[in-house]
């Protein structure tokens, strides 16, 4: 499995609290965990690199892409977003983390606002396991707690997930669909809620396990573009197999 | 119920076969049927009108929008596509007809290629009713036939529908998910396959009934933008309710 | 709309606390609310009546059946459960309330254990609205609270709902999928969580509104048995239309 | 992976046509294919064996159970059906083949009639691949044909599948949802349509591949009974943690 971790990598450089938690960047912490837990070959990509480190070559060599971003979603080039969307529809996996609910690739693949309620108040989050038999939840108990996290509250404006795997309880009174999957084209998209930059969430063993399992679950099994809509020959007999269609007819007429 | 029917309205003006079937345009035939069957207030919009007839004012006064387009999807202004997407997410219904599987609003809301196989060969289509109790299929028999239609074949590259209502059998050997719904934001999207411009499909009573039922089913029950992600006050006690977040902190620092 | 409300009607007769809240029985409180809010024709049925008040005649004249039960699920006759299941598959609606998650008809229609965690501790429940545009949630705010309720916690062992409409937050730390729908056959099943007998939950205006909306949403649109698997004649030409099948062949052989 | 194949094993002994195609029984043909393609440890069970070969010991040692039955569904003991249902809800996989749509375990887990239309006329079936990236469809082309099969036609009375993977086109004019999955409890149920006893369907390489893939996909990842609904202690503070509930109160009163 070949994993690429995209991280915006700005807060870690600009803010002391975040830097102390993730001195090498969130991507480094995630890379260590995913490598350790899955044996995958992991590389990183960050916003300030050329093409955000996500050249066509890199994407073509990626089975699953992890995405963390927060304050600079708008700086991601549309060309790269097109590339990521095409790759997912062609089979690449995409694991969307925390504030990347607002990233361009996720919004593009969902077709919705991906909006939610939020609050940063050092409160407790408890994540409940709805499907202990699901591969993404292998090794995860019936619930686990994060002592301090940012709150995300419903209504989360996404299409109904194909699989709803965890629900969060927040100390301040809200709930959230925290782990969910959607198939888009030949690819699998996973969203996993926790991961606010000012808390050590990605050092938590349960969080690491879920991120690693999600990467393995979403990793491409095939890669097929399938972007076109081919005209196709009949398999059984049809009345008028060589019929000229309107577009050709019209074009022909115009070209006369 | 206030219905707006968008029709590209080019084939009818350019091609004699199409003109003979829909002398006033596909929109006129659909408008007559929807008015007769639902009592709705129906208006039309066409590509060559200003803003394609879909000004913000029109959209705001539309409970459900029907969309037929084929050869000029690319001519639809992105600003109008944004407007339609926002309206659907805010609650407006959208009924997508036949070749509008490739329209910009549908692709935007699905997040996928919306690609398929096709063939025009005057072949028979038989549509099978999977959910006779569903409101969109009220009055529709267990199956009905269209003697000549364009073939659309799987794989139809769309997200798994929330409701799959009809399957098509084609004489030439293919099958297709022909009637399906998806919730997106507060709105409902319906896709209905038949309706190739060179056949009198929209004069068929079963097709008319389904289009009318789909309009009634998808029509907005509420209109709410919900585009933003508000910071929200805790309902229960939290440890640090007035905490400054990283974005504010960083900005403050920068501004010093 | 013709609504039948089945209530076990034991706690109200045996326990003073429950009797004080529902002096005429939970069914009477629900009947008043559903009549007032929908204009439906409402009748009641209780466990100790003959056939539990659910004769074939009553079921045939019921568009939607509400079901409340708790301590005597096992006393419901299997013949009546068969009748209710057949009716739902044929189109009748079923609204399952609170502890009726363990009722025989619900378990039969789900195929699962319908198990969950529970606790009675006078704690607060807050119900979050995931789909404000859904007909069952018409008139319901983004959340509402019940100051004291029994807790039901995940994992709720049911098939993934076709529509997930509300999530509950509990003071004691759990979450629950509190309002959900499933289509079974031609019928619609709705489950709505609150309603413990020692609290005045069914006097709450939001709860009453949801129960009434759910009844209207699930009410039968058609009634069709469809229990059999008919041998069917080909519509198109097939190689061997009059072929004798193995079962007939074997039977014929045996009878010689 | 430990696979158990249940086969009714009557047609092969009673009917010459079937015997010629499957001289050792359908289970033997399937066992050879599944062993060859997955390396699984495969055992068989047949109707006339004690407990149909499905003792609790066998079920406990089964990761996934394949089920073929046709003419003697009613002879399967309810005790064994209970056992199979419990095992699936606890995590065991179940792959339901062809006429086993009417088997007791499948009907029990679906909660519906599982009815359909049928015809035996030596007609062609073409199966279309909707999700080439799904593990069950690994190695399967965009479509494949079975030159002669029994026809099964919609409406197939099952709950909407969690995953719809193949659609069948039939020569005689019908369509069918031919490959689908449902999660029930901790287990996965797969239904795969082809396999009529008078045709050599289970000798087809694509059919064998799908059956083997389905077994691997559905095989248990965990085994957990979870049949009970435990009273549970609060995690956070609640107003009245030691409260006596109505059932206990009533019982106590009665016992005085």
What counts of helices (H) and strands (E) characterise chain B? 8, 9
Q: Token pair for residue A116?
A: 């939610």
Q: pLDDT tier at B141 (50, 70, 90 boundaries)?
A: very high
Contact D132 A235 (CB under 8 A): no
What's the pLDDT at D251? 53
Q: What is the DSSP letter of A231?
A: B
- Give the total residue count for chain A: 256
Backbone angles phi, psi at A139, to 5 degrees: 85, 0
Contacts of C167 in chain A (CB under 8 A): 154, 167, 175, 177
Question: Is the pLDDT at C256 greater than 50, yes or no?
Answer: no
Q: What pLDDT does B250 receive? A: 58
What per-residue confidence (pLDDT) applies to D255? 44
Contacts of C154 in chain A (CB under 8 A): 128-130, 167
Residue B74, pLDDT score: 98
Alpha helices in chain D (DSSP H): 11-14, 16-21, 26-38, 56-60, 78-89, 104-110, 205-218, 246-255
**In what helix (H) or strand (E) does residue D117 lie, and over which residues does it extend?**
strand D117-129
Residues 153-182 of B with CB under 8 A from A: 153, 155, 157, 159-160, 162, 171-174, 182
- pLDDT band for position A226 (cuts 50, 70, 90): confident
Q: How confident is the model at residue C226 (pLDDT cuts 50, 70, 90)?
A: confident
Which range is least confidently modeled, A224-238, D11-25, D96-110? A224-238
Residue B254 has pLDDT above 60, yes or no: no
B132 close contact with D: CB closer than 8 A: yes
Positive or negative torsion for Cα B17, B21, B23, B27: negative
Cα angle vertex C116, ends C111, C119, to 5°? 155
Per the DSSP assignment, residues forming a β-bridge with A125 are A146, A170
Calculate how close chain A gets to C130, using CA atoms only, in Å.
5
pLDDT of amino acid B251: 53
Task: Give the model's pLDDT for residue D183.
Answer: 98
Residue A250 confidence (pLDDT): 57
**Lookup result for tokens 């004699």:** B16
pLDDT, tens digit, 9 for 90 and up, residues B92-106: 999 999 999 999 999
- Please state, in angstroms and as integers, the Cα–Cα distance from residue B140 to each residue in A121, B34, B205, C4, following that order: 55, 16, 10, 29
Residue D130, preceding peptide bond in cis (omega within 30° of 0): no
Does B115 have pLDDT greater than 60?
yes
Contact state of B154 with D130 under an 8 Å Cβ cutoff:
yes
Average pLDDT over every residue of A190-202: 98
D187 to chain A: nearest residue by CA?
A133
Task: Locate all alpha helices (DSSP H) within chain C, ordered by sequence.
Answer: 11-14, 16-21, 26-38, 56-60, 78-89, 104-110, 205-218, 246-255
The pLDDT, as a whole number, for residue D250 is: 57
- Mean pLDDT for A2-16 is 97
Task: Decide if B132 and D153 are in contact by the 8 Å CB cutoff.
Answer: no
Q: Contact A65/A4 with Cβ under 8 angstroms?
A: yes
Q: Averaged over D47-58, what is the pLDDT?
A: 98
* CA-based nearest residue to C21, from C221, C146, C204, C200: C200
Q: How far is A154 from chain C (nearest CA, A)?
A: 7
Sheet with C143-153, side-by-side order of all strands: C41-46, C2-7, C64-68, C93-97, C187-192, C175-184, C163-170, C117-129, C143-153
Residue D209 pLDDT greater than 80, yes or no: yes
Query: Cα distance from A43 to chain B (closest Cα, Å)?
Result: 27
**Model confidence pLDDT, tens digit, residues D9-45:** 999 999 999 999 999 999 999 999 999 999 999 999 9
D 192-211 residues inside an 8 A Cβ radius of C: 197-198
pLDDT band at D256 (very low <50, low <70, confident <90, very high): very low
pLDDT at C245: 75
Lowest-confidence pick of B30-39, B241-250, D90-99? B241-250
Taking only the tens place, the pLDDT of each residue in D232-249 is: 999 999 999 988 777 766
Q: Angle between the C26-38 and C205-218 helix axes, to the nearest 10 degrees?
A: 70
CATH fold of C2-218, please? Answer: Rossmann fold (3.40.50)
Which pLDDT belongs to residue B136? 98
Report d(CA B84, CA B108) in Å as an integer: 10
Q: Does A133 touch chain B (CB under 8 A)?
A: no
pLDDT band at A255 (very low <50, low <70, confident <90, very high): very low
Mutation site for A-interface testing, chosen from D88, D133, D138, D237 by largest number of A Cβ within 10 Å: D133
Between CA D129 and CA D181 the distance in angstroms is: 14
Band (pLDDT 50/70/90 cuts) for residue B56 is: very high
Dump pLDDT digits (tens) for D142-151: 999 999 999 9
> Exposed, middle or buried: residue A150 (CB in 10 Å: 0-12, 13-18, 19+)?
buried
Question: How many whole angstroms separate alpha carbon A33 and alpha carbon A27?
Answer: 10
Confidence bin at B226 (pLDDT 50/70/90): confident
Question: Bridge-partner residues for D189, per DSSP?
Answer: D94, D182
Q: Which candidate from B132, B221, B224 shows the least CB-CB separation from C135? A: B221
- The pTM (predicted TM-score) of the whole model is 0.96
Minimal CA separation from C94 to chain D, in Å: 14
pLDDT tens for C154-204 read 999 999 999 999 999 999 999 999 999 999 999 999 999 999 999 999 999
pLDDT bucket at B249, cuts 50 / 70 / 90: low
For the segment D190-202, the average pLDDT, to the nearest whole number, is: 98
With bands split at pLDDT 50, 70 and 90, how would you rate the model's confidence at C234? very high
DSSP B245: P
Instruction: Mark out the alpha helices in B40-110 (DSSP H runs).
Output: 56-60, 78-89, 104-110
pLDDT tens-place string over residues C109-124: 999 999 999 999 999 9
Residue C174 tokens read as: 């759990």
Nearest Cα residue to B217 out of C133, C186, C192: C133
Q: Is the pLDDT of residue A178 over 90?
A: yes
- C window 62-101, beta carbon within 8 A of B: 91
Q: Assign 3-class secondary structure to D199-228.
A: CCHHHCHHHHHHHHHHHHHHCCCCCCCCCC
Contact D192, D211 (CB under 8 A): yes
pLDDT at B148 > cutoff 80: yes
Place B242 in a pLDDT band, splitting at 50, 70 and 90: confident
Per-residue pLDDT tens over the stretch D117-131: 999 999 999 999 999
> Which segments of A130-201 are extended strands (E)?
143-153, 163-170, 175-184, 187-192
- Which secondary-structure segment (H or E) carries D125? strand D117-129
**Collapsed DSSP state (helix, strand, coil) of residue A65:** strand
> For residue D172, what are its two tokens?
């005689």
CB D91 within 8 A of CB D110: no
Number of alpha carbons in the 13 Å side-chain half-sphere of residue D176: 30
In this structure, of A85-89, C221-225, D38-42, the range with the lowest mean pLDDT score is: C221-225
How high is the pLDDT of residue D179?
98
Model confidence at B252: pLDDT above 90: no
Task: Write down the pLDDT at residue A254.
Answer: 45
In this predicted structure, the answer to whether residue A36 has a pLDDT above a threshold of 80 is yes
Query: For position C255, what pLDDT does the model report?
Result: 44
Can you say how many angstroms the Cα of residue D255 is from the centroid of all Cα atoms in its chain? 47
Residue A251: what pLDDT? 53
Report residue A92 CA to chain centroid gap.
10
Residues C131/C217, Cβ–Cβ less than 8 Å: no
């Amino acid at each position: 499995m070949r994993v690429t971790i995209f991280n915006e990598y700005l807060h870690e450089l600009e803010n002391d609290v975040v830097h102390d938690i993730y001195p090498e960047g969130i991507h480094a912490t995630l890379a260590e965990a995913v490598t350790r837990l899955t044996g995958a070959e992991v590389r990183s990509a960050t916003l300030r690199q050329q093409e955000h480190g996500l050249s066509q070559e890199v994407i073509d060599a990626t089975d699953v892409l992890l995405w963390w971003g927060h304050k600079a979603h708008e700086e991601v080039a549309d060309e790269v977003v097109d590339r990521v969307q095409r790759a997912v529809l062609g089979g690449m996996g995409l694991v969307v983390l925390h504030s990347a609910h607002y990233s361009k690739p996720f919004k593009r693949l969902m077709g919705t606002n991906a909006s939610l309620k939020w609050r940063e108040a050092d409160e407790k989050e408890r994540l409940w396991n709805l499907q202990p038999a699901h591969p993404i939840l292998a090794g995860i108990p019936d619930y686990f707690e994060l002592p301090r996290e940012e709150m995300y509250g419903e209504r989360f404006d996404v299409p109904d997930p194909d699989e709803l795997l965890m629900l969060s309880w927040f100390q301040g009174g809200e709930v959230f669909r925290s782990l969910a999957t959607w198939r888009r084209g030949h690819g699998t998209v996973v969203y996993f809620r926790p991961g606010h930059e000012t808390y050590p969430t990605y050092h938590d063993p349960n969080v690491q396990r879920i991120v690693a399992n999600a990467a393995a679950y979403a990793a491409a099994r095939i890669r097929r573009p399938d972007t076109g809509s081919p005209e196709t020959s009949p398999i059984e007999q049809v009345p008028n197999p060589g019929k000229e269609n309107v577009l050709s007819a019209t074009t022909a007429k115009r070209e006369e």
